[in-house]
Structure formats: structure tokens, C-alpha cells
Structure 1
Amino acid sequence: MGSLGKEVATEILPFIRVYMDGSVERLAGSPNVSPSAEDLETKVSSKDIAFSENPPISARIYLPKQVGQHQKVPLLVYFHGGGFCFESAFSFVETKYMNSLASHAKVVVISIEYRLAPEHPLPIAYEDCWAGLQWVVSHSGDYVIDNKEPWLSTYVDFDRVYVAGDSAGANLAHNILMRAGSEALNGGVKITGAFLTHPYFWGSEPVGSETKNVEERGKLPTYTIWHLVNPEAPGGIDNPMVNPVIPGAPSLAGLGCSRLLVSVAEKDMLRDRGILYYNAVKGSGWNGELELIEVEGEDHAFQILVYESENAKKLIKRLASFLV
């Protein structure tokens, strides 16, 4: 029985608990915070926008003080992490991270608030993020849209659009890039580049230092979360959405951007998957500019969870410098 006296159907500790009545208790994630007219530390302004009622999709957008009235700057479209089932574009740690990225890079950032599993199982988050990206880039042309966002129309150079994410958000970004490689974006916009930080990929066959014990592998959160958030995925944990290097998966040569930066952390359980993905892109025939960063001594999502550390500050500056 759970803390609410209800019968537990599934729990993936320390992240989430699902009860037999369908209710969900999220055990991880930071509290939501309001946007700011001007963040005291970074001088970045932020506001929240709801751009779709059906389906309900919203976002938080960031504008650095350094961006002048007649200046056009790059745009970063961001997808937050949290195993597809917790965290938010409006949370404290994500807002802190986006303020820092926007300030260092001097770019407009928009973080998409997609719907979470298990109430909204995948592929809903993929669809929400694609719809969000399409709405954002529709500001590039002469589209008539009811809810036009002036910060996008006024300040963004749509020849320099980037997408990015961390953990499950990096998985979202990868799948958005694959879709952008085969489907047109509104206004004919092309994605310049992307960075995937500690990307969430997995598979049934062990890679590198991953445990080879089948029973142990079946209990890892990397495995159990996928089954919770995408229970009907063909192929299960070897579905190409989560295992893009599985034989028969769409070719990574189809990634729809011209620059890609993959970053991994030495102590992260997902490290070897990130490196495998980097090598697979390298060998796929994809003709973009590819780079890998590994940070020693750090664990998963350290740049967000321990944002005051020197290594976190260095990585944020390095990611910001990618957005040119």
C-alpha cells in the first residue's frame, strides 16, 4: 500500500508511483516557479505562453537583456528531461538552467511544456514537441496565426534555429531531428544544429560497462521507465525511439540538422549509450558537423542538478558557445 492508503500498481523509485486507481504520485522533480520580468542573477526576462488549447501545450520563453530591439539572434527550442514522466518547463531547476543558457549564449530560448506519461503515454510527448516546434517556426513566414508571440517575431533569426534537450529531453530532441529530416518544417525552416546532453537511450543488449545480468537489467529505471511511459511500443526497449542503433532502425544519416553536439558524463549510467549513439551517427553517412564532449567525475544531468559547481558552469558555457 502507498502513503495514501491506496494499492500501488507500479513504482519506480525514487521517481514515480502509480496506483491501481490510475492516480500518479511524482516523487522527483523540483517545484514550479513563476516566470520573471527580469531574473536578478542573469537579467533574462521570461514569460509563459499557451499556444495550443487542443491539445493543451504551453511553453516558457526567455529573452536576454543583451538582445537589442533591432537585433536578430539564434533561437533554441528546448525539451526538458525527467523520464517523460516528471519535471516541467516551469520548474525551478529548468528555469535556472534556461536563464543561464540564454544569458551566456545571448539567444532567445523557448522550453516546451509537453504532456507527461503515464497519464499521457508516448508518443504524445513526441507529438507535443513537434507541434511546439512547428508553431515556433511558423513565426518565420507570413503565416496567419492567432497567437503570435512578439519575442519570436521580433528577435529571432530563423536561419539559426537549434533544438536541444537533456536526458529524456535529449531523446525527444533526437526523435524530432529524425522527423525533421523527412518532414518539412513550417516556412521551410531548417534546423541549424542540436545538442543532446546525457541522452536517454537504452536497449536489451548490454553496451560497454552496463550490467550483463538479465534480471538486474530488467529492474533498472532505464528499462522500467520506458515500459511505464510507452507500454505499447513495438519492440519494447528495442524500439528505435529509445534504441536508435538497433538493426532495422531508420538510418541516422537522416538527422535533420547540420551540426550535432553529444555530451556525456563519466559516472552516468547512460554514458556508454551516448558514446555508442555518437559513433553510430559518425558511421551512418550523415554529412553534418559532429562533436562529443565527456565530463569526467560527473553524473547524470549534473549541469542542472548541481548548477553551482565549476563543471556545471563550464558545460553550460560550452553549450552556449555552440549556439552561434
Structure 2
Amino acid sequence: MASSTDNNGDKVIVHNLLPHIVVYSDGTIDRPRNFPFVPPQEEDPETGVSSKDIVFSNDPYLTARLFLPKLTQSNGRNQKLTILVYFHGGGLTFESAFSSIHHTYCNLIASQANVVIASIEHRKAPEYYLPTSYNDCWAGLCWVASHATQNPINSDPWITNHGDFNRIFIGGDSSGGNLVHNVAMRAGVEALPGGVKLLGAYLNHPYLWGAKPMGKEPVIGFEETLQSRMWKFAYPSAPGGLDNPMLNPLAYGAPSLATIGGSRLLITAAGQDHLFFRDRAERYYEAVKESGWKGEVEFFEEEDEDHVYFMYDTNSENSKRLIKIVVDFLRR
């Protein structure tokens, strides 16, 4: 959007990507959709999940929130749990691993799936343009995997004592789903520390896009849709623009989906998400099946819901159904 003067008359809007983010000429940034930060908890009263914040890299400085479900008394000290490395959503420009909605969501997943979670606080545009977020999420997965080696850096006892390194998943919602796809692709061609292998990944309503409209996406003004502008804002130097394989895995010349790391994949969509990503999620699912990938891929759609509905009301019946599908996927 062209620059304009705000109501104060003394600063100019440089980038207007409402409702997600606004950048002003004086360097200030508004993120009106950010949910409030909440502190970690010694024990969540509803789920019994404990959480804490850690620094897993000093250079660059990277943090995460860890979640540990209530352990069984008989085998608590040495109980081994599936590991989920979680990448939060937010259009690659807002939200946080420490925000209320992601904290609540991770508490539910940790307690119901009985998994230990590392929710990665990846850096975001415009302070850090892509591919920074991709590299941060990869670094988070590598840090978790490094606990399977003799000398992990910045090791954490929750992962050392309770992590099952034969059962590592990655997961994310919306732009977090985009991050999951790209980290899973990297895990398919690049070794993780300690010889650890990725078991599976889930992508809820993933932010996948492209240079040409698909399905019910608008034909007129497609490049000016918020989805198109968000990518160009977050990754202005992206080779191929909207058809960069990190955004459009089906673009001409994109790496084969047969190289996705892991052996299990879950993709979900919402039927009312046509102006966002519903059709692309289904096409991605079909493309994985057609690629020759050797794993097991599943697709679930809630027809009467919109984008990431389960993040905003975790108590609705449809939200509970989606969370149960993710939980069952992680438990199998």
C-alpha cells in the first residue's frame, strides 16, 4: 500500500498489512493481532502441564518454551515421551511462542498426547526477514536432536530425561505449517545431530500460496491479496517471488516432495478457508501422494469452519475434534 499519514499527522505508514502488521516511517511497528504474553507455569491447573522458558542458542540468541505433561508416579523420573517441536503461526510477522493462545494450545496437546513440547520462538519480519524463521526453526529441531549426543549444547533435563529420540515430530498452524513443510524438506536431505530421524509432521491450515490463483481464490487483484503481500513483505528478496518453493511447493522447479523427511504426515484444512489456504492444503496432500513419497499421509477437513478456528476457541466441539486428530496422530 502507498505511504500515507496517520491521524497524528507526524508519521507515515510505510507498510499497511492490516489486520496483521503496520510499519511506520519512524521505525515503529504495530501488530494489532498479537495476543498477550503469558508466563510459563510450574503446573497448569487445568491440564497439569508444566512449562518453562529456555535459551537454546546464544549466537544467534534463540529461545523456546518447553512443556512437560504430568508424569506417572511409578516411572516419572525416567518416563520417555514423544517429542513435538512446535512452530507457531502468525503470518511470519507476528505472534509468539509465549502468547496466550499458543500457550493454551500447547498445554492441551502436551497433556492429551502425553508429549514433551519445544515451542520455538522464531524471529519474524520485518526485524528479521525470511529465511531467518526457517533457519531458527531448523536450529530448534537440531537443538532437540542434539540431546541424543554425548555433548548437547545448552542441554535441558526435560528433554534429556524424558525425550524419546525415536519419536520426534514437528508441527505447526497456518504460517507455522509453512515452516513445518520447509523444515521437513530440509530434514529429508540434511542429517540431524546424533543420527536422529524425524518421525512425522503435521500441518494445520498451512500458509501455502503461489503466483497464480487456485480454486476459489480471487483472479482479479490476486497479487494484492493480503496473502500475496504478506509473503513479499516477509521475504522481499525471495527468488521466484510468489512461486518460491518455500511458499509454493508445487512451483515449477521445486524440489520433489518425495524427499520430505519422516514417514508420517498429517495435513488439515477448513472448508470455509477458501480465501486463504483450503484448496492449496488439499492439493499439497494430493501432490505428496503423487510424488512417490514412501510415508503415510493423511488429510482432514472441517467443512463448516474457517482458518485456524481451533486456536481461538479450544472448547468448541469442532476444535476438540481437530485437537483429538492431532493428538491421535502423535500417539500412534
With the shorter chain as reference, the TM-score category is: over 0.9
Are 1:2 and 2:16 matched, yes or no? no
Are 1:275 and 2:282 matched, yes or no? yes
Size of the aligned set, in residue pairs, is 321
Aligned to 2:147, the other structure's residue is in SS state: helix
What do the CA deviations read for 1:230-279 (whole angstroms, capped 9, x no partner)? Answer: 00001111100000001110000010110000000111121001011111
Superposed, 1:129-148 pairs within 5 Å as 129-145=137-153, 147-148=154-155
TM-score (norm 2): 0.95
Aligned-CA RMSD value? 1.1
Q: Which residue of 1 aligns with 2:168?
A: 161
Q: Which residue of 1 aligns with 2:52?
A: 47
The sequence identity of aligned pairs, in percent, is: 51
Aligned to 2:185, the other structure's residue is in SS state: helix
Shift of 1:23: 2.5
Shift of 1:3: 5.3
Superposed, 1:1-324 pairs within 5 Å as 1-2=5-6, 5-67=10-72, 68-145=76-153, 147-213=154-220, 215=221, 217-268=222-273, 269-324=276-331
Rounded Cα–Cα distance in structure 1 between residues aligned with 2:132 and 2:210: 21
* Bigger Cα displacement from structure 2, 16-25 vs 164-173: 16-25
> Relative contact order (alpha carbons < 8 A, sep ≥ 6): 1 or 2 greater?
1
For 1:302, the aligned partner's letter is: Y
Aligned to 2:42, the other structure's residue is in SS state: coil
Rounded Cα–Cα distance in structure 2 between residues aligned with 1:251 and 1:23: 41
Shift of 1:144: 4.3
* Bigger Cα displacement from structure 2, 91-100 vs 25-34: 25-34
Shift of 1:219: 2.1
Shift of 1:22: 3.0
Rounded Cα–Cα distance in structure 1 between residues aligned with 2:232 and 2:152: 40
Shift of 1:24: 1.5
Rounded Cα–Cα distance in structure 2 between residues aligned with 1:151 and 1:27: 34
Aligned to 2:281, the other structure's residue is in SS state: helix
Which runs of no fewer than 5 residues in structure 2 stay unpaired? none
TM-score (norm 1): 0.97
What do the CA deviations read for 1:192-239 (whole angstroms, capped 9, x no partner)? Answer: 0110000000011111111121x2x12211101001100000111110
Aligned to 2:50, the other structure's residue is in SS state: strand
Which runs of no fewer than 5 residues in structure 1 stay unpaired? none
Rounded Cα–Cα distance in structure 1 between residues aligned with 2:152 and 2:232: 40
Shift of 1:25: 1.2
Aligned to 1:191, the other structure's residue is in SS state: coil
* Bigger Cα displacement from structure 2, 159-168 vs 200-209: 200-209
